[in-house]
Amino acid sequence: MSVVTAQTATPTAVLGTTVLFALFLSLTAHLAARNVLDGADPRRALYVGPLPAVVGVVGGAFAIPTAVTVPVALAIDAAMFRWSYEIESRRVLAAVTAVHVVVTVLLGVVLGGITLLLATRPG
């Protein structure tokens, strides 16, 4: 007989995770915008991160398949870039969104690897 335990998260933990994820996505959004656009204002990146972060946290909390969550988050990410940086060209919008995905994945892998190394150190 197997026992299934339910994992409960406090509202503070969920809010903290969402805020940290939004800040991480805002940082990577600024890095992407700075590399694609000329003179990207870092304050505008703060508008890009929160909604995709909410989609990610809600998708994880409700076990929504990534085949649904990722395209929705990418569409919202592109919409937020278009609105925040006032991008008119679809080609530039696609480029900045693609660079944002690449920068987010690379920085996430590096930070995750550092965290794993620090968590498994002896002593």
pLDDT tens digit sequence for 64-99: 999 999 999 999 999 999 999 999 999 999 999 999
Question: Is the pLDDT at 4 greater than 60, yes or no?
Answer: no
Identity of the amino acid at 38: D
76 or 9, greater pLDDT: 76
The runs of H, that is alpha helices, within 4-89 are: 11-36, 42-48, 50-61, 66-85
- The string of pLDDT tens digits covering residues 18-43 is 999 999 999 999 999 999 998 888 99
- pLDDT higher than threshold 60 for residue 5: no
Confidence at residue 2, expressed as pLDDT on a 0 to 100 scale: 55
Residue 40's pLDDT is: 86
Q: pLDDT at residue 3 above 60? A: no
Integer Cα distance of 51 and 24 in angstroms: 12
What is the end-to-end Cα distance of the chain in Å, rounded?
A: 37
Contact yes or no for 56/62 (Cβ under 8 A): no
Q: Distance between CA atoms of 20 and 36, rounded to whole angstroms?
A: 24
Amino acid at residue number 56: G
Q: How sure is the predictor about 10, in pLDDT bands with cuts at 50, 70 and 90?
A: confident
Contacts of 64 (CB under 8 A, 6+ apart): 58
| pTM (predicted TM-score) | 0.88
Residue 98: predicted pLDDT: 97
